[in-house]
Structure 1
Amino acid sequence: MSQLKPNKTVDVAIIGGGTAGLAAYRAAKEHTSSVVMIEAGPYGTTCARVGCMPSKLLIAAAENAHQYHKSAQFGVNLGKPKIDGFAVMQRVKAERDRFVSFVLESVDGIEAEHKIDGYAEFVDQHHLRVSHSNGDTLIIKAKRIVIASGSRPAYPAAWQALGDRLLINDDIFEWDRLPKSVAVFGPGVIGLELGQALHRLGVKVLMFGVGGAVGPLSDPALTEYANIVYGNEFYLDSDAKVSLIERSEQGVKLRYQDQQGQSVETEVDYLIAATGRRPNTDKLGLDKLNIELDTRGVPVADHYTLQTSVSNIFIAGDASNQIPLLHEAADQGKIAGDNAGRGKNIRAGLRRSPIAAVFSDPQIAMVGESYRDIEQRLGNCGCFEIGSVSFENQGRSRVMLVNQGLAHLYGEQGTGRFLGAEIIGPNAEHLAHLLAWAHQAKMTVSQMLDMPFYHPVIEEGLRTALRDLNAKLHLGPEMIDACMECGVGS
């Protein structure tokens, strides 16, 4: 490859201009001004354009409509809400565009010579070929390279036959009006959030999955609870038997076996594919490199430095196939960019305790190690215990009529250390933050119980679970059935 004549030579080249790429750019610039960021599509983040922000706007509208339905239980009769689908989507798109504009404003502040438009692929470990849509190509020589190419929705190729009746979450946020019916395939984070929101906005929703999983949950008890609580609100079969999916004149025809074993044939306006995302690493020319890949063809990287098996190449964000969340992408981008900018003296970056949330109702949250991970690591020796709380009779939850949910907290025998949690319940996004801080501080369950808890608050549910866990770890007294102050919780 010594015969290659580069059009541009830099210290650091970053492939991708999303959350991880922008973070990597800023971090690398702290060490060198010789940095370029290569982006083929529009600048900006998945979160702002088609992910966390527009989905939360849709969910906010759905929650507002849902409060009308619940109001009569408080003795406040607001009647049935009239949902203006056009107005809902106008606000979603307007606010979405506002969030994206903030990202673009930041990108506009980057010097033009540091931005290159086009698709990048490796020629060798120091050279990238960048192809522009107008047919032009550039050869970029870089001492170090950060892969931050993001991810894209993945679904069965056969579904392409559905044409414009097949949607991914990106497409939903371009709607002008809400459809009458949809089938959502994939009750994961994206499918669950969007499916429930559309249901509450008056769209008929059928949700199908494979294997029984709901959201990110891995604890069998919580998975079972989730199937029941969401299935009581809209049609959910997380282990569905679907025998027909085909394009019809008006939409998509489906044939499936319902949960009573009966064959059902129906038609919906659209099929929404929420069946996961695929890292954008398959078209980078990785076969030109002697680089270690995982089973999905993604470069394996050190957890703390984000350095791959090729010492001058780093990877961050959704492309890394680690945790596809904005805060993780930002952290990884910063670490990868910092190390790429340094060149020498590679440093371990701060990797925070895992935290994830699903903005369904009830919400779902994951903190620290999952049940699946703990069971694999400690299950054979019986070295962990589970503390439990149901929110169905938890004081403040019942007062607010949000009393649905179950939380499991995990602790290590002997050390008493808090290992992680899986939660389905009210305010799970906030409960998860308290637990994530405790996990990152490597607190024991006893130390967590020494923290203040006000009364009456939903957070008291965590104290109940912690007391249950502490007793099972043989580090605290046996649980009591009810507190003396108000008779609920403990």
Structure 2
Amino acid sequence: MQERNVDIAIIGAGSAGLGAWHAARQHTQSLVLIESGAFGTTCARVGCMPSKLLIAAADVAQQARDAEGFGVKVSGVTVNGPAVMERVKRERDRFVGSVISSMSRIEDEDRILGAAHFEDANTLVVGDHTRIHAKRIVIATGSRPTWPDFLNGAGDRLIINDDIFDWDDLPESVVVFGPGVIGLELGQALHHLGVRVRMFGVGGGIGPLGDPDLRKLADQEFNADFPLDPDANVLRVELEGEQVAVTFHCRDSDTEKTERFDYLLAATGRRPNVDRLELKRTGLALDERSIPRFDRLTMQCRFDDGSLAPIFIAGDANQDLPLLHEASDEGRIAGDNAGRYPDIRAGRRRTPLAVVFSDPQIASAGVSYAELKRRDESLASIAVGEVSFEDQGRASVMRQNRGKLRLYAEHGSGILLGAEMFGPRAEHLGHLLAWAIDQRLTVERLLEMPFYHPVVEEGLRTALRDLNVNLRRGPAITERCLECGPGA
């Protein structure tokens, strides 16, 4: 077995691992990058990018169906499944190629292929070929899909999101378990591409929405598009020939129903890839999920005795904020601290921002509704403002006048704390709100900002005015721009 001695070993070559590599490289040339699977990030291969390619095709199909509402006659919409999937795979491969190309800056001898596990806190064994003695180690092993055992009744018809992007054609039907980000995006996209879709959830959750008003609205809107039960009573999942039979209680009655589908898409969550690392050999303190306990500002782990370890964890492996931009940030913080160890420094974390590319879109920024409730169950310290997009001027012009925006600000200071949205252009409004929250702007200051007419952002101004009236501070800005008409 080959023996290697390095300053830093990084386990995982995804977004977090690559971020850690580039940051650590500023401090030392003695480091290795270990990858157990194919090079190329989850985002490029089976995540963000291929899913958006599928969604883009679905959006075009849906817009064509909706054209008659604008007085534009489209004589039938035909989805060419093989052509859709050919473009998805072609463009996906291009994105993956770009990531792999960027890795050419890493010397071949510093890239080690194989599954790694700990022998002790400073020693890794990779496959059956290499033992690495590292002064510091960064865990950036990512995560993988997981699902409850009863879904295994679907046999070889059970798929995960990775499998979709290897299809050569679209199936006739798919049942989706899990109305989270992945389930909503892929399930609705498949539906808009002509695939028969039914979706089941547990506990009533829809995407990342925590605000009960928005959850209720999203439930109504999605069900107007395709059947979604966010708190389903599923009785059986069975494989019948080449189809999956799902038996469930109908949502609005006590009747039992069985439907059959070509595939069952399990989008029920992800688990961190730390279970095969033999972490118990490191002496690290582990939480109830067997994830190392760590400082989210430094990414540094601790030993069982409370002392700081020369081990860092970043990205989906720590399950803190499983988003690409957060993984990249965490990777850079972990890599920088591994490089400058023991001179550990706190990294600046971004204002939380999340987007679901559904229709309507979902976005959240800043402090979440769930966190606000955790801090103050009655929300007595928080003012809430909102706007419905049903009457909003630009949204109505585009025939996208569905959804609602809810804003949360602090009484007294008037500082905007957070926002949740289910509606048009949420990906853009979410960014504006995250930037405002990051700058700790007050509601009054935001109302001094320019708003063009007619734009969806005028809906944000309406919500800010409503929020300002509800704040326990003054003077309130309540006047309405009468000359601007609807949406002002």
Report the equivalent of 1:398: 396
Which amino acid in structure 1 is aligned with residue 301 of structure 2?
Answer: T
Deviation sequence 1:37-69 (CA, Å, 0-9, x none):
111100111100000100000000000000111
* Corresponding residue SS for 2:54: helix
Confirm whether residue 260 of structure 1 aligns to residue 260 of structure 2.
Answer: no
| Partner Cα separation in structure 2 for residue 457 and residue 393 of structure 1 | 13
- Picking from 97, 102, 105, the partner of 1:106 is 102
Report the equivalent of 2:306: none
- Picking from 131, 137, 140, the partner of 1:148 is 140
- Picking from 33, 46, 59, the partner of 1:37 is 33
Confirm whether residue 422 of structure 1 aligns to residue 420 of structure 2.
Answer: yes
- How many percent identity over aligned positions? 55
| Partner Cα separation in structure 1 for residue 288 and residue 487 of structure 2 | 46
- Picking from 176, 197, 219, the partner of 1:205 is 197
Report the equivalent of 1:284: 277
Q: TM-score, normalised by structure 1?
A: 0.96
Report the equivalent of 1:322: 320
| Partner Cα separation in structure 2 for residue 481 and residue 280 of structure 1 | 54
Report the equivalent of 2:183: 191
Superposition pairs of residues 406-485 of structure 1, within 5 angstroms? 406-476=404-474, 483-485=481-483
Report the equivalent of 2:265: 272
Contact 1:468–1:478 at 8 Å: present in 2 too? no
Change (3 A) 1:403 1:374: same
Confirm whether residue 243 of structure 1 aligns to residue 238 of structure 2.
Answer: no
| Partner Cα separation in structure 2 for residue 157 and residue 260 of structure 1 | 27
Contact 1:405–1:424 at 8 Å: present in 2 too? yes
Which amino acid in structure 2 is aligned with residue 289 of structure 1?
Answer: T
Deviation sequence 1:117-161 (CA, Å, 0-9, x none):
111111111111111xxxx33211111000000000010234334
Report the equivalent of 2:56: 60
| Partner Cα separation in structure 1 for residue 474 and residue 420 of structure 2 | 22
Report the equivalent of 2:358: 360
RMSD: 1.5
Offset, 1:6: 7.6
Which amino acid in structure 2 is aligned with residue 218 of structure 1?
Answer: G
Confirm whether residue 304 of structure 1 aligns to residue 297 of structure 2.
Answer: yes
Offset, 1:259: 1.8
Offset, 1:382: 0.8
Change (3 A) 1:481 1:232: farther
* Corresponding residue SS for 2:390: coil
Contact 1:185–1:207 at 8 Å: present in 2 too? yes
Contact 1:6–1:141 at 8 Å: present in 2 too? no
| Partner Cα separation in structure 1 for residue 96 and residue 12 of structure 2 | 16
* Corresponding residue SS for 1:308: strand
Report the equivalent of 1:229: 221
| Partner Cα separation in structure 2 for residue 351 and residue 480 of structure 1 | 35
| Partner Cα separation in structure 1 for residue 474 and residue 397 of structure 2 | 29
| Partner Cα separation in structure 1 for residue 481 and residue 487 of structure 2 | 6
Which amino acid in structure 1 is aligned with residue 104 of structure 2?
Answer: D
Larger mean Cα displacement after TM superposition, 212-221 or 158-167: 158-167
| Partner Cα separation in structure 2 for residue 292 and residue 216 of structure 1 | 29
Report the equivalent of 2:287: 294
Which amino acid in structure 1 is aligned with residue 191 of structure 2?
Answer: H
Contact 1:32–1:341 at 8 Å: present in 2 too? yes
Report the equivalent of 1:97: 93
Offset, 1:11: 0.4
Deviation sequence 1:350-375 (CA, Å, 0-9, x none):
21101010000100001011101011
| Partner Cα separation in structure 1 for residue 479 and residue 265 of structure 2 | 45
Report the equivalent of 1:220: 212
Contact 1:369–1:420 at 8 Å: present in 2 too? yes
Change (3 A) 1:163 1:430: same
Offset, 1:163: 2.8
* Corresponding residue SS for 2:215: helix
Larger mean Cα displacement after TM superposition, 428-437 or 287-296: 287-296
| Partner Cα separation in structure 1 for residue 73 and residue 117 of structure 2 | 61
Change (3 A) 1:250 1:381: closer
Deviation sequence 1:204-227 (CA, Å, 0-9, x none):
000000011100111111011110
| Partner Cα separation in structure 2 for residue 381 and residue 331 of structure 1 | 31
Gapped regions of structure 1 (runs ≥ 5): none
Number of equivalences: 482
Q: TM-score, normalised by structure 2?
A: 0.96
Contact 2:401–2:424 at 8 Å: present in 1 too? yes
Which amino acid in structure 2 is aligned with residue 249 of structure 1?
Answer: G
Contact 1:126–1:144 at 8 Å: present in 2 too? yes
Contact 1:304–1:348 at 8 Å: present in 2 too? yes
| Partner Cα separation in structure 2 for residue 33 and residue 69 of structure 1 | 56
* Corresponding residue SS for 2:301: coil
| Partner Cα separation in structure 2 for residue 483 and residue 378 of structure 1 | 35
Offset, 1:478: 6.0
Offset, 1:344: 2.2
Report the equivalent of 1:130: 126
* Corresponding residue SS for 1:7: strand
Contact 1:482–1:488 at 8 Å: present in 2 too? no
* Corresponding residue SS for 2:377: helix
Deviation sequence 1:288-325 (CA, Å, 0-9, x none):
12222223211121121111114200000000111111
| Partner Cα separation in structure 1 for residue 16 and residue 173 of structure 2 | 36
* Corresponding residue SS for 2:386: strand
Larger mean Cα displacement after TM superposition, 294-303 or 469-478: 469-478
| Partner Cα separation in structure 2 for residue 479 and residue 206 of structure 1 | 46
- Picking from 4, 7, 10, the partner of 1:11 is 7
Offset, 1:108: 2.7
| Partner Cα separation in structure 2 for residue 375 and residue 410 of structure 1 | 11
Offset, 1:476: 4.8
Contact 2:469–2:478 at 8 Å: present in 1 too? no
| Partner Cα separation in structure 2 for residue 208 and residue 158 of structure 1 | 14
Contact 1:69–1:79 at 8 Å: present in 2 too? no
Which amino acid in structure 2 is aligned with residue 124 of structure 1?
Answer: D
Contact 2:181–2:207 at 8 Å: present in 1 too? yes
Larger mean Cα displacement after TM superposition, 183-192 or 260-269: 260-269
